[in-house]
């Protein structure tokens, strides 16, 4: 009798751990081991894309000896049937209904394609895949995409009790594969950040922009959010400087620019079920959401040249009266870079659509900033944001 698995809980647990591991090979080893153990599989493996060679290789394999395929034993070129069926758009419809390619479905799919007389060669490629999957001891294959690019294929062996994989399990593996693809892509971006920081500050900033885009890819409801927050934050800081109420230290504007772009980077580690929830968050979900500020700082702490902007990421949800998070800082103990981002972030959050509500008008947002200036928001950036709005600058 199979133990019932809470797939949603397992997915959220796995997602929380992904962001803290920048070595994507180590990450996937841990995930594949978890899949074998939790789903009671004879073995599982992961085929990974190698950008340097533009090929795919069976990088990770876990399970029973004699069942699992040895790691790096097989390399898959792009014309391999198992890669083509996921990589080429004309075959996408073959897996859409189940989010996976299941060996037990192949005869039915081949018969259907024969009846339909499909002209795209789908019947032939299905035949070839039906020959390949037994050689890999796989009963199902689950693709992992990042923006339609195939980054990995999860190979699933049979269960110990030979029971078929139900659709709930396949949906779980598909969601996990999607997060794996994001983790792989993020790991590649972090590696790129480190290299570019050593080579050129300008190229480093461009990579930072790309990483900001990765945040928005994770949370589609905040599309354009980081760019707008960056624009508002820089405008507020310049206004404060022009009015003589703030003397920015060296590199302040550069650090503010980077911190604004990356202020929500920690959300990469927040489950999509929480980010996209259309109802108010529960207390437990809100507690998870609040971790994104500290997560963001933890991510940046492992990279060079981020000391000047890390506080902006970590403390942009602190409040002037000490009721914010993660550290409950109060008044002038909150770094000015954080206070500026806080006001800019609030203005944009109120004036754009969120999963749980429609956007408010700009005057409503300004009234909220006026209402809580000196309580939640530092008076100086709050006053600058109000002045910019009243002057028609935002």
Q: Which residues contact 105 (CB under 8 A, 6 or more apart)?
A: 98
Residue 181 has pLDDT above 70, yes or no: yes
Average pLDDT, the chain: 84
CB 152, CB 177: distance < 8 Å: yes
Residue 2 has pLDDT above 50, yes or no: no
- Tell me the range of 111-115, 160-164, 182-186, 372-376 where mean pLDDT is highest: 372-376
Preceding peptide of 326 cis, ω within 30°: yes
Compute the half-sphere exposure of residue 370: CA atoms within 13 Å on the CB side of its CA: 11
Residue 229 has pLDDT above 80, yes or no: yes
Mean pLDDT of 124-152: 90
CB 57, CB 47: distance < 8 Å: yes
Task: Specify the pLDDT at position 130.
Answer: 92
Task: Specify the pLDDT at position 273.
Answer: 82
Among 199-203, 325-329, 377-381, whose mean pLDDT is lowest? 199-203
Residue 17 has pLDDT above 70, yes or no: no
* pLDDT band, very low/low/confident/very high, at 1 (cuts 50, 70, 90): very low
- Listing DSSP states for 37-87 in one string gives HHTTBSEEEEEEEETTTTEEEEEEEEESTTTSPPTT--EE-TTSHHHHHHH
Among 194-198, 265-269, 361-365, whose mean pLDDT is lowest? 194-198
Residue 202 has pLDDT above 80, yes or no: no
- Taking only the tens place, the pLDDT of each residue in 44-90 is 999 998 888 899 999 888 888 888 888 888 899 999 999 999 988 88
Q: Is 79 exposed, middle or buried (0-12, 13-18, 19+ CB in 10 A)?
A: exposed
Q: What domains sit in the chain, N to C, each tagged with a CATH number?
A: 7-183 (3.30.450.40), 201-390 (1.10.3210.10)
CB 325, CB 314: distance < 8 Å: no
* Cα–Cα distance for residue pair 40/161, rounded to 1 Å: 8
């Amino acid at each position: 009798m199979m133990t019932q698995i809470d797939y949603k809980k397992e997915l959220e647990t796995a997602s929380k751990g992904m962001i803290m591991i920048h070595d994507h090979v180590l990450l996937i080893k841990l995930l594949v081991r978890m899949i074998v153990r939790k789903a009671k599989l004879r073995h599982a493996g992961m085929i990974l894309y190698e950008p340097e060679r533009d090929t795919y290789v069976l990088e990770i394999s876990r399970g029973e000896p004699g069942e699992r395929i040895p790691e790096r034993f097989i390399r898959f070129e792009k014309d391999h049937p198992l890669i083509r069926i996921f990589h080429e758009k004309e075959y996408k419809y073959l897996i859409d209904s189940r989010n996976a390619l299941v060996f037990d479905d192949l005869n039915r799919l081949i018969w259907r394609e024969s009846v339909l007389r499909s002209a795209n060669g789908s019947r032939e490629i299905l035949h070839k895949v039906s020959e390949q999957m037994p050689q890999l001891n796989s009963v199902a294959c689950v693709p992992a995409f990042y923006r339609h690019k195939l980054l990995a294929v999860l190979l699933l062996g049979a269960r110990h009790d030979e029971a078929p994989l139900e659709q709930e399990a396949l949906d779980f593996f598909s969601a996990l594969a999607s997060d794996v693809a994001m983790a792989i892509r993020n790991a590649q971006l972090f590696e790129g950040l480190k290299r570019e920081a050593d080579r050129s500050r300008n190229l480093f900033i461009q990579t930072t922009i790309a990483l900001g885009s990765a945040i928005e890819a994770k949370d589609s409801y905040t599309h354009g959010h980081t760019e707008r927050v960056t624009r508002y934050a820089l405008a507020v800081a310049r206004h404060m400087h022009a009015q003589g109420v703030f003397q920015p230290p060296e590199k302040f504007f550069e650090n503010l620019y980077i911190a604004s772009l990356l202020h929500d980077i920690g959300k990469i580690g927040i489950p999509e079920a929480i980010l996209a929830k259309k109802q108010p968050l529960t207390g437990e979900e809100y507690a998870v959401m609040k971790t994104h500020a500290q997560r963001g700082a933890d991510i940046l702490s492992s990279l060079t040249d981020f000391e000047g902007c890390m506080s902006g990421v970590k403390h942009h949800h602190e409040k002037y009266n000490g009721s914010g998070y993660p550290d409950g800082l109060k008044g002038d103990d909150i770094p000015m870079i954080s206070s500026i981002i806080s006001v800019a972030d609030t203005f944009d959050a109120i004036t754009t659509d969120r999963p749980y509500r429609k956007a408010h008008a700009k005057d409503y947002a300004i009234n909220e900033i006026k209402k809580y200036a000196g309580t939640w928001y530092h008076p100086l950036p709050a006053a600058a944001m109000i002045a910019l709005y009243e002057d028609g600058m935002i």
